[in-house]
Amino acid sequence: MNIKLLTPQAARVLEHMRKTGSITNVEANAVHRVRSVSRRITEISRALEGSDYEIRREFKRDVTGQLYVRYFLVKSR
């Protein structure tokens, strides 16, 4: 895992995921001021290649029916 190559925003997203297990676009934007979460997740996924961890995506709907993605940091199988 080459975490040193992460941008500061990606590093903040990864740290949030390490502490809580997951993150959404709204959480990343509100808490960390990260706008392009999907780009940061791609960056993190590339840095995690060859490690024991991976990013999983789960599509959900909120109470208004709006579709969103929750990203999880999980141990690889």
Parent domain of 47: 3-75
Q: Tell me what the pLDDT averaged over the chain comes to.
A: 93
Tokens of 38: 């999907």
d(CA 36, CA 9): 9
Mean pLDDT, rounded, for 38-66? 95
Strand duo 53-61 + 22-24: pairing: unpaired
Single out the residue of 55, 9, 14 nearest to residue 32, CA to CA: 9
Tens digits of residue pLDDT in 10-29: 999 999 999 999 999 999 99
For the chain, the domain total comes to: 1
Which is higher by pLDDT, 76 or 32? 32
Q: What is the pLDDT of residue 1?
A: 58
Among residues of the chain, what percentage have pLDDT more than 90? Answer: 86
Any idea what the CATH number is for the domain that residue 32 is in? 3.90.1150.220
